[in-house]
Amino acid sequence: MRNGDNRVVVTGLGAVTPIGLSVSETWQSLVSGQCGIDYIESFDTTAFAVKIAAEVKGFDIGQYVSRREAHRMDRFTQFAVVAAMEALGMSGLKMTGGTAERTGVVIGNSVCGLRSVCRELDILEREGPRKISPILAPTMTSDAAGVQIALMFGVKGPNFSVSSACSSGSDAIGQAYLMIKHGEVDVAIAGGTEAPVGPIAVAAFSAARALSTRNDSPKQACRPFDAQRDGFVMGEGAGMLVLESLDHATNRSAEILAELAGYAATNDAFHLTQPPPEGEGAIRAMRDALRRAGLNPGDIGYINAHGTSTLLNDRVETIAIKSVFGDRALRIPVSGTKSMTGHLLGATGAIEAATCVLVIKNGIIPPTINVDYPDPDCDLDYVPHWARPAVVNAAISNSFAFGGHNSVLVFRRYSA
């Protein structure tokens, strides 16, 4: 097969989210409309304007790795390792010598080892520099999750991190897709991970007026496309995909969950945090991704929206979808699953990519919960309140981020 002609398929999924500690738990929560947002338990929010987040509950890294291994991982790395375990287990892939050298790891994240940094800063102020942990340096960096995955599973191909704010997870999957497509590797473990829920991140995003302050009703706080939305809700977790070239997957008789058919990334070059009013960059990303996938707008049966529940993002994303899909936009099911998971920052695109794969595989579209007062400017079919059965042959996942990043992934049902 010529360089650049490799088809790329998905053979494994893994997830650790505020609504489930596995892919199956997360999926069941999504289709049943369960929300993982609640009052923050990991730190005292008395002095904070924002007191809610989507935290991962019941997660015990000791069930997966030794105490020594766990000590060498920030929480964001722990999530990534567990999600990668599940994805590799689902794929049935064995990391033998030849496979290991032809397997890459690409992990997206935005704020990296923030918990470790904050903990050690406190020690620095109280006890001085000699008391700083000797493993802080390798645990706080953005590549830490990928490094631990490589060490744990013996992966010896390209290994790097991607950081493009809230598009990081999608871009990591996209970069892995390109490596396989162009023959640089046969397999990639790709996704995103994030553990930002802590005092500094909550204070920072609150100061930027990006977070919801609906503290009196956490489960209703994240309401994409609703007229009463007032900001996003921070979340944490990880999503991982095992991607393979079609030849590699079929040669080992792997179950193929879906095909990753296209990817595109653009930048707005407009504003530090706001999208341009007509969504020009998002429009280009969706059109480019469809073109590279060899699909037309009419082929798409589902859109997983970025849908952050912020005033500008939801309105501009609606405008962009209408521009790309024309009159048909009103008939395409669109769901904002952040209404249940919260916004996992650099991990969110990976969770939503996995959701698209599961929609195609299972024939069910998750709802957008909390759309109680539809915004007249947001008039698409957001699958409000309840999941919907549907045959979906192709789906797109949108990720749009601070800094003007726009990343779009296109998945389709696998056909030989």
CB contact at 8 A, 77 and 61: no
Residues carrying an active site annotation: 166, 306, 343
CB contact at 8 A, 104 and 185: yes
State the pairing for strand pair 394-400/388-389.
unpaired
- Alpha-carbon torsion, ordered 23, 26, 29, 33, to 10 deg: -120
State the pairing for strand pair 258-267/302-304.
unpaired
Q: At what angle do helices 311-325 and 280-293 cross, to 10 degrees?
A: 40
CB 114: neighbour CB atoms within 10 A? Answer: 23
CA distance 108 to 407: 12
Structure tokens at 145: 């999750």
CB contact at 8 A, 58 and 21: yes
- Alpha-carbon torsion, ordered 279, 282, 287, 291, to 10 deg: 170
Single-letter amino acid, residue 221: A
List Cα–Cα distances, 75 to 4, 55, 83, 345, 363, in angstroms: 36, 12, 12, 15, 33
Task: Give the containing element (helix H, strand E) for 237.
Answer: strand 237-245
Check residue 161 and give left, alpha or beta (phi > 0: left; psi -120 to 50: alpha): beta
CA distance 305 to 400: 9
CA atoms within 13 Å, Cβ hemisphere of 275: 27
